[in-house]
Structure 1
Amino acid sequence: MKGFVLLFGVSFLSACTSVTAVNSRQDGHLTVTSRARWDIVSWNRVRTAGLHKAEDYCEKQKKQLHTVEIHSEGLHGVTTQTVEVIFDCI
């Protein structure tokens, strides 16, 4: 039962955010943007979703994630939160 509740909770939280595909920037870094689908989602959850996408991308290339910058916009409970993760795979 606990496993089902945990799986449901993780599924619900993943439905709360959307994450773009990994894109290449002109300066040679990679970027991914995550957004909250609802205003009640925490900044930390939105940031974590973007970082996981970046980490998965690097792991598929058998490299490690190196975070260059993290930018955020929005206010919790007021506006939709957006987090851009700029990174390299080294």
Structure 2
Amino acid sequence: MKGSIVLLGLSMLAACTSVTGVNSRQDGHLSVTSRARWDIVSWNRIRSAGFKEAQAYCGKQHKEMHAVEVHSEGLRGVTTQTVEVIFDCI
């Protein structure tokens, strides 16, 4: 029973954010943007989702992710929160 509750909780947390695909930027870096689907999601969870996507992208290329910049926008409970991670695979 406890295992089912934990699994349900993790599934709900994963559904709290959406992440774009990796995009190439004009300056040669890559970027990914993560957004909160609900107002109750913390900035750290949104940031973490973006970093995980960037790390997975670089991992598929057998490289490591190097964060160049992180931009955030929005206010929890007031406006939609977004985090853009700009990175390179080295």
Alpha-carbon distance between aligned partners in 2 of 1:3 and 1:87, rounded to the nearest angstrom: 36
2:9 aligned residue: 9
1:31 aligned residue: 31
Summarize deviations over 1:3-38 as a string: whole Å, max 9, x none.
Answer: 322221121011111000000001110000000011
Alpha-carbon distance between aligned partners in 1 of 2:40 and 2:7, rounded to the nearest angstrom: 20
The residue identity in structure 1 corresponding to 2:77 is G
1:42 aligned residue: 42
Gaps of 5+ in 2: none
Corresponding residue SS for 1:68:
strand
Offset at 1:2?
3.2
Corresponding residue SS for 1:28:
coil
Superposed counterparts of 1:44-59, under 5 Å: 44-59=44-59
**RMSD value, Cα:** 0.9
- More moved, 3-12 vs 33-42: 3-12
2:78 aligned residue: 78
TM-score (norm 2): 0.94
Alpha-carbon distance between aligned partners in 2 of 1:55 and 1:2, rounded to the nearest angstrom: 31
Q: What fraction of aligned residue pairs are identical, expressed as a percent?
A: 74
Summarize deviations over 1:24-66 as a string: whole Å, max 9, x none.
Answer: 0011100000000111110001000000000000111100010
Gaps of 5+ in 1: none
Corresponding residue SS for 1:77:
coil
